[in-house]
Amino acid sequence: MRDKILNLLDQKGELPPFPKVLLDLQELINDPDCDVDDVRRLIQIDMALTGKLITLSNSAFFRMGREKTGTVEEAIIRLGVNQVLDLCYCLEIPKSFKKIKSFDQTQFWQHSLASGYLSRMFSEKLVDDQNIVNASFMSGMMHDVGILVFNYLIPKEYNNFLIAKDISNSDQPVETLEKATFGVDHQELGAMFLEKHWELPKILVGGATDHHKDYISSGSINLSHIVSASNKLANENNISHPIMSQHKEELSEDFITKANLSSNEIEGFIEKTKIGLLAFDSMNNT
């Protein structure tokens, strides 16, 4: 089955392409001569994206007591181009994937966004490398994309797997059951999709590759540790993934110790994440 899945991945088929507006925005932001006006002009080509970006910049999560913004330019100046890119990821990527009947896709993206928010907050506090900080949101947000890829490549087989294995009552990790059934799990499949099909930077892909291990055996905290911790913290705080077994993964004491995080700091991250999710929910329900 592994060979079949990887062959289907190579053929691409109906897999969604990386949204063009995001590709253009990434290239623009990576240009050292890029300025706020360049970013504004690109975003304003898409009026729906423009309106949503302004709405989000005025939400409690991003506004933080400041006056409301009325233009894209003001939003970019307030948030910075990298956070604007993160917001555009949030707005464009979920709608790139077709609706899936085998699990709650709204819950899937809520968990994904929460993991992205937390990854960004952790990275800003814990690492000095700005490249890691810039990649952290997207890496956290896309850590479970392999599950969507499974549903594109082998929808019937993956749906049958969810039913036959009775995932919600199993004491085995989902990725272990996937590996035993298909020869590949959603971590590996997602990483291959992000790297080969969407051609995203290796630093971003690497962060999403091993998101179930936050134990730090040696060295410093890296993006994989951060994404793993963010995934677990979201699950622990009722922002859980729709596909979960009885196998519980808690935020490791090793990570908390190495990160020198207080319980108040962690609670603050969670509260800010929930406020961010409310901003997106309210916008999508209007």
CATH of the domain at 182: 1.10.3210.10
Residues 79 and 123 in one domain: no
- Does residue 19 sit in helix, strand or coil? coil
User: Final residue of a domain: which of 39, 70, 92?
Assistant: 92
Write out the DSSP string of 184-224: S-HHHHHHHIIIIIS---HHHHHHHHTTT-----SSS--HH
Least confident of 22-31, 169-178, 203-212, 260-269: 203-212
* Residue numbers of the domain that contains 53: 20-92
Give the rounded percent of residues in the chain with a pLDDT score beyond 90: 50
For 34-55, the pLDDT digits (tens) are 888 999 999 999 998 898 888 8
Tell whether 210 and 179 lie within a shared domain. Answer: yes
Residues 42 and 128 in one domain: no
CB burial class (10 A; 0-12, 13-18, 19+) of residue 17? exposed
The last residue of a domain, from among 53, 73, 92:
92
pLDDT in tens, 209-247: 776 665 565 578 889 999 999 999 999 998 988 888 888
How far CA 241 is from CA of 9, 28, 132, 236, 258, in Å, comes to 24, 33, 24, 10, 26
- Residue 48 CB burial class (10 angstroms; 0-12, 13-18, ≥19): exposed
pLDDT recorded at residue 107: 92
* 90 and 96 Cβ atoms separated by less than 8 Å: no
pLDDT over 90 at 57, yes or no: no
Please indicate, yes or no, whether residues 9 and 27 belong to a single structural domain of this protein: no
Q: Which residues contact 61 (CB under 8 A, 6 or more apart)?
A: 272, 275, 276, 278, 279
In three-state secondary structure terms, 98 is coil
pLDDT at 286: 54
Q: Which residue carries 């990821």 as its tokens?
A: 89
Give dist(CA 247, CA 205) in Å, integer: 25
Number of structural domains (the chain) is: 2
Which of 209 and 88 is assigned the larger pLDDT?
88
Choose one of 66, 92, 118: the last residue of a domain: 92
- Token pair 């928010």 is found at 117
Q: Answer yes or no: do 126 and 225 share one domain.
A: yes
pLDDT of 6: 94
131-142 mean pLDDT: 93
82 and 203 inside one domain = no
Give the orientation angle of helix 81-92 with respect to helix 72-79, to 10 degrees.
110
Least confident stretch, 13-17, 188-192, 227-231: 13-17
pLDDT for 102:
82
Task: Supply the pLDDT for residue 261.
Answer: 86
> Quick one: 199 and 234 in the same domain?
yes
Distance CA 115, CA 147 (A): 15
pLDDT: which is higher, 142 or 255: 142
